[in-house]
Amino acid sequence: MRRAAVIAFIAAAVLAATFAWPANAQRVAIRDLVLDQAAPPARLMGYGLVTGLSGTGDRVTGTFGSRQTVQSIVNLLRRFDVQVPAELLRTRNVAAVLVTAEVSPYMHAGGRFDVSVSSIGDATSLRGGVLWMTPLVTDAGAAPIAGAQGSLAVSGPTNTRTFVQGVTTGRVPQGGVLETELPRPAAAAANRLLLRDPDIGTATRIAAAVDSALGGKGNAMVLDPGSVQLTPKDTASGFALILARVRELTITPVRAAKLVIDSRDGTVVTGADMRIGDAMVSHDGISVIVGADSASDTAVRAPSGASVRDLARALQAMHATAAQTVAIFSALRDAGAFVAEVVVR
């Protein structure tokens, strides 16, 4: 009980240190709020091998070994006229991986892009590995249109003897190269601005900014929460120059309240001014009480109006798991203690 009381005291002290953050609204260029002609990115995928691992690759022996890795190595060696029976391969320096990427539909042949790599076998770590040349396709069975290779960048601790989430995924910065031209998407209506995150308030502010910059009302009209139609009265300078000028205008977008929680490590991301009203939540041995007294020494207590930021720090001080953090904030939202969308990633 003493340890629990000390932890509760630390958590309560952290919560008591709440302060108001200035709500400085950030102005954003319209170009960063709208889509580029509503063109979806081209999604590429491939199957490949990561080599050069230090004994942390796929297990290739035993009943549950990654046999697809052995067969892939055999096929790779055959391309170089090297014949090795599959039953003789005993290596933990290779791992079978899936490779994915997204590229702009306007990228041309020769353009480079980042690729993501994830293990599909029982490799314990991809750290220090090199992605072997991997063809990338838009769909299974399609002809390759790009290739990827290079050294992997893997985040997380360097100690590979302990299980750590994330070391079986990595990235190859600028490791992908487009080898053929992509089919160009059909051009969208050039006189419309299509919002990345549809919101009627943001669309209205964009229309107002356009009207102000182009000399009065009637130069822009909100069609729906996701689109603003441009109807410039003076087109003597050409529509392309007008569109370029409009894209450089800045506005203060309407930001919906959102609370993002990482389901793996419990990281909480939110605006600094999000506050919590009176509520009480008890979950998995942790009690959170906001705006009320409690006789429990193990409860996290906070005054009414405590910030989400400080509650997250208090839960971390109590060593709450990611699942507990998600459940507590979701319960507080459901109880009406704060109004925001809770996104779990």
Q: Which domains are delineated in the chain?
A: 2-24+257-344 (no CATH), 28-36+188-251 (3.30.1360), 42-178 (no CATH)
Instruction: Output the pLDDT for position 324.
Output: 86
Residue 36 or residue 342, greater confidence? 342
Instruction: Output the pLDDT for position 68.
Output: 78
Lowest pLDDT segment from 106-120, 186-200, 204-218: 186-200
Tokens of 36: 């580029």
Instruction: Output the pLDDT for position 271.
Output: 67
196 C-beta neighbours (distance < 10 Å), count: 13
Lowest pLDDT segment from 77-81, 224-228, 294-298: 294-298
Residue range 156-178: mean pLDDT, rounded:
73
Per-residue pLDDT reduced to its tens digit, 278-308? 888 888 778 888 876 655 555 778 788 888 8
- Residues 164, 127: Cα–Cα separation, whole Å: 12
Instruction: Output the pLDDT for position 300.
Output: 79
Instruction: Output the pLDDT for position 21.
Output: 38
pLDDT at residue 165 greater than cutoff 60: no
Residue 91 or residue 162, greater confidence? 91
